[in-house]
Chains A and B, each alone.
Chain A
Amino acid sequence: MQVVSPVRGSLITGKKTYHQVTDDICSRVEEKPSKSWMIAMACSLGALSLGGYALIVTLWEGIGMWGLNKTVGWAWDITNFVWWIGIGHAGTLISAILLLFRQKWRMSINRAAEAMTIFAVICAAVFPIMHMGRPWLGFYWALPLPNTFGSLWINFHSPLLWDVFAISTYFTVSLVFWYLGMIPDFATIRDRAKGVSKIIYGALSFGWDGAAKTWSRYETVSLILAGLATPLVLSVHTIVSMDFATSVIPGWHTTIFPPYFVAGAIFSGFAMVMTLMLVTRKVYKLEDYITIKHIELMNIIIMVTGSIVGVAYITELFMAWYSGVEYEQYAFFNRTAGPYWWAYAIMMTCNVISPQLFWFKKIRTSIAASFILSIVVNIGMWFERFVIIVTSLHRDYLPSSWAMFHPTVYDMGIYLFTFGFFFTAFFLFAKFFPVINMAEIKAILKSDSDTTPAEKSVTQNINQ
């Protein structure tokens, strides 16, 4: 019985059998690391150690090593923080929201996107922790622990504290979701492995046996986790935006921030998934699993969320003018035409104009264009956060306090450190963990691929 959808094409091509799916994904884990992997790993470890030096110097000397001044008290650190958190939004969005919407195309990309989420959130956490100056005391400042300041507790009225809870919850739930999804695949690798790797993957697979009862419970758990993770994803960037929106700084205290930040996060997150998946697809020869169709669908999401972000930018400008508030008007006039006009121009070009190119089918189905635009989008999204943070601060209430922000090599170093960490972690993941969810792919193989695998494997058995 073959189910053929006349409207939608196949999600998996190459006439795969179930066994071929196992082979394609597992052999990446089983084979020796390739030369290109070694080189890529060496580069990211280099970035990690170079950036690690900047990190250690900052820890030793204090955040005076950064370019911050009395006026611009938040700059690259918080820019990078929001940027990484935004990137960390695509993974759980893909696996949770697209699961609830029954979008089967998520299955080829969700594993890697979730991994990316987890690493991105760790990178993001580096910045607020470093900005504490004395992070070893951070436990007392951020967590509700009894402390030596009397019985004074942390302030639950503060959005900065909400952020601590939001991000740690997001990290934990994403990690659990990601790991749970990998358990059946670890069992597949375990059953093929020998020696030490059998022991390791055996431990990782938690004794998974694939019993129908377990699968039934597992499906229930996945669905509820998706239901829990969906509002969680939306809450995280909402709360991040409240770090700004609940303040009284012109340019920050706008009610549009939560939906605008969430759209921006999905926008940049999908762009980063695109960048990484295009490379992984090429290196691991996964063209049959991540097809042009997947790329096109991701580009459409980038286009839609990019347009939402564009509308938000224009709404902000309109509201500044329409509110009649002089300070608000000045903040936006200064943003577009002040000394940081170039940052605003980069942001507008990369985030509003460039995704509109995806209206053309030729561009959104072109691998080269998708790759370039995905990087352009993330440059734009970094500048968005920079523009919001720095241009709102650098013209203080008193003109005598007006200042500019100049990053030091240590600002750049810590940013480099997070890149080093992110790619090191991603390359380790891509080598030692199954990059594509085999169980889910097999579940849709019959309905959504260009073959009837059962028939094919039967004939194969006969031929053998």
Chain B
Amino acid sequence: MDSGKNFLLGIYEDEDVLLSAVTKIRSSGLKIHEVFSPYPVHGLDTVLGYKRSRLPIAAFMFGFLGTTLALVMQSYMMAIDWPMIIGGKDYVSVTFVPVTFELTVLVSALGMVGTFLVVSNMKPWGKARIFDIRSTDDKHVMAIDLDENKATVEQITSLLNESGASEVNNKQFDD
């Protein structure tokens, strides 16, 4: 998100107004930089044209890694490194199932959440680029990059107003 510095912000009060506004503005040929909401708005990613997240694939891969690690570890320890009959069980036995399941879940969950934090650029002490401070309270904020769009400020402003924005503001970042 380093490209833009000059933004025009459309502030929306209602999620349904926002959804129709996004459709309207995208169909008019304007590029929307991003929409910031205080809560997840269902269908917003679809109307913005975002692709489905590939995080489920990451979760599966990490889960598979967990299963493999657990089975290799248990087999190595119980059957190869120090084989010993305990309670009449085979060296490699069905008793490996619980630990294998737990490690699958553990590695899958941690791996997926880790991937999520990395791709979303989130980390402790991470700095958020705040367009409008009310976007974590009660307003939906649509940011339009003025450098990315050919339309003039006046044109964009009137489009935003028409689509139901309650306010239109300018926002400049120095960095």
List the interface of chain A (C-beta within 8 A of B). Answer: 1, 17-19, 22, 144, 150-159, 161-162, 165-166, 168-169, 172-173, 176, 180, 183-184, 187-188, 190-192, 202-221, 224-225, 228-229, 231-232, 235, 239, 242, 438-440, 442-443, 446, 454, 457-458, 461
Contact = CB atoms under 8 A, between A and B. Distances in A.
Contacts of B159: none
Contact of A218 (B40, B48, B106): B40
A209 B130 contact: yes
Q: Which of B39, B55, B98, B106 has the most CB of A within 10 A?
A: B39
Contacts of A213: 34, 45, 50, 120
Contacts of A457: 13, 138
Contacts of B17: 454
Nearest to B87: A157
A212 B51 CA distance: 12
Given A17-B138, A156-B78, A205-B128, A217 B93 contact: no
Nearest to B92: A156
Contacts of A169: 102-103, 105-106
Interface string B66-106: 00000001100110011010110100010110110111011
B84 to A, nearest CB: 8
Given A156-B74, A187-B128, A207-B122, A220 B36 contact: no
Interface string B1-32: 00000000000011111000000000000000
Interface in B117-175: 117, 119-131, 133, 135-138, 166
Q: Enumerate the 6 nearest inter-chain pairs by beta-carbon distance, A residue then B residue, closest first.
A: A207-B126, A18-B138, A454-B14, A216-B45, A153-B77, A162-B98
A102 to B, nearest CB: 12
A354 B39 CA distance: 40
A232 B106 CA distance: 9
B1 to A, nearest CB: 9
A68 B36 CA distance: 60
Contact of B89 (A157, A161, A187, A239): A157
A206 B117 contact: yes
Contacts of B126: 206-207
A210 B44 CA distance: 12
Contacts of B77: 144, 153-154, 156
Nearest to A162: B98
Contacts of A22: 38, 137-138
Nearest to B42: A443
A79 B119 CA distance: 44
Contacts of A461: 13, 166
Contact of B53 (A206, A209, A220): A220
B41 A212 contact: yes
Contacts of B102: 162, 165-166, 169, 232, 235
Given A22-B137, A207-B126, A215 B40 contact: yes
Given A191-B136, A205-B128, A212-B48, A225 B112 contact: yes
Contact of A210 (B16, B81, B108, B135): B135
A373 to B, nearest CB: 34
B99 A165 contact: yes
A150 B95 CA distance: 23
B77 to A, nearest CB: 4
B35 A211 contact: yes
B133 to A, nearest CB: 5
A207 B38 contact: no
Nearest to A454: B14
A332 B44 CA distance: 60
B133 A191 contact: yes
Nearest to A440: B39
A223 B67 CA distance: 21
Nearest to B66: A169
A192 to B, nearest CB: 8
A22 B38 CA distance: 10
A224 B44 contact: no
15 contacts: A18-B138, A22-B137, A144-B73, A153-B82, A156-B95, A165-B98, A192-B137, A202-B127, A212-B41, A217-B116, A224-B55, A225-B109, A438-B38, A443-B41, A457-B13
Given A165-B99, A173-B106, A457-B13, A210 B78 contact: no
B13 A209 contact: no
Of listed B37, B73, B135, residue having the most chain A CB within 10 A? B37
Contacts of B110: 172, 176
